[in-house]
Amino acid sequence: MLRRVLQLLAAGLLATAIWGRDLSKAEELFNKADYEGSLAILDKNSSDAATLFLIGRDYMMSGELKKATQFLQAAVAADPKNSEYQDWLGRAYGKRAETSNPLTAPGYASKARQAFEAAVQLNPKNSDALDDLFDYYLNAPGFMGGGFDKAQRVADQITAIDPAEGLFDKAKLDEKAKQYPAAEAHLREAVALGPHSLGHLIQLAKLLANEGRTRESDAVFTQAEQIAPNSPRVLFAHADVLIKQKRDLNEAKVLLQKYLQSPITRDDPPREQAYRLLKEANGI
């Protein structure tokens, strides 16, 4: 009897170890933007919250939003107090709102807002959830729960946690109000506080480009490239600005070719966007 119990225990421990290795490998593939590879080794019939969460993220990043929503809902149901799960569920609903018809979009947007608010309530220091809620409040119309004042309050919460990111969000508020000198001032303060933050530098470069200050914009992109040589994120953003302004198109094409040859991650724009930009540049 004891021998049988020990055999069952050993089998259970082996299965747990194999599951753990599979989940770890799938997470690694997800972070490398290999969503198909990640999905291939995950059990779609699992009841494990972490597995359901990763499947949902894989589907979302692959553009299969309905499946993403289903698995992320299941992850939230399995672990309803997990702030990160709620935040990603909000992102899935947000994407569905962006891509659906005018009749269904408001319902998805409302669910996105509710999920973001729940994520922040569960963990008021979840910076990703705070950023998502801030962007929702800033961009959604009032009848869908958005609002400038609401966004300002969330920006204050973010500032208390991360002053540089708070300044970055205040710059977004300034741009929304068309207060461009104030936006530039806040972005430069954010860069000074976190000089290695590529996102802040990219946003400053975009703002300067939109104001027609192309030399200054290019100088900021050069600064970003010096901080993170061959960063896919910087390569893509610089090419995007050049193409939108229809200048230095040959340089933009070179940047995009470098991007397409780079090992991108889930934080970088999908390769499909780079191909679309390259096609646009060839057509100008």
Per DSSP, the residues of 6-63 read HHHHHHHHHHHHHHHHHHHHHHHHHHTT-HHHHHHTS-TT---HHHHHHHHHHHHHTT
Each residue's pLDDT, cut to its tens digit, for the chain (284 residues) gives 555 544 444 444 434 444 457 899 999 999 999 999 999 999 999 999 999 999 999 999 999 999 999 999 999 999 999 999 999 999 999 999 999 999 999 999 999 999 999 999 999 999 999 999 999 999 999 999 999 999 999 999 999 999 999 999 999 999 999 999 999 999 999 999 988 899 999 999 999 999 999 999 999 999 999 999 999 999 999 999 999 999 999 999 999 999 999 999 989 999 999 999 999 999 88
The two structure tokens encoding residue 67: 């499946």
pLDDT of residue 12: 43
CA 176 to mean position of chain CA atoms: 20
Considering only CA atoms, which of 208, 160, 209 is closest in space to residue 187?
Answer: 208
pLDDT of residue 3: 57
pLDDT of residue 195: 86
pLDDT of residue 2: 54
| Close Cβ partners of 223 (under 8 Å, ≥ 6 residues apart) | 201
Contacts 24+ apart (CB under 8 A), 157-161: 157/120, 157/124, 157/130, 158/127, 158/130, 158/131, 158/134, 161/125, 161/127, 161/130
pLDDT of residue 284: 82
Rounded Cα–Cα distance for residues 272 and 56 (Å): 21
Query: Which residue do the tokens 């000198």 mark?
Result: 181
Q: What is the 3-state secondary structure (H, E, C) of 106-129?
A: HHHHHHHHHHHHHHHHHCCCCHHH
Rounded Cα–Cα distance for residues 97 and 116 (Å): 14
pLDDT of residue 16: 45
| Three-state SS at 104 | coil
pLDDT of residue 10: 41
Distance from the first to the final alpha carbon of the chain: 78
Considering only CA atoms, which of 225, 236, 226 is closest in space to residue 259?
Answer: 236
Taking each helix axis from N to C terminus, what angle separates 105-122 and 83-99, rounded to the nearest 10 degrees? Answer: 160
Please state the pTM of the whole predicted model: 0.87
Rounded Cα–Cα distance for residues 111 and 49 (Å): 20
Amino acid type, 261: Q
Rounded Cα–Cα distance for residues 163 and 127 (Å): 12
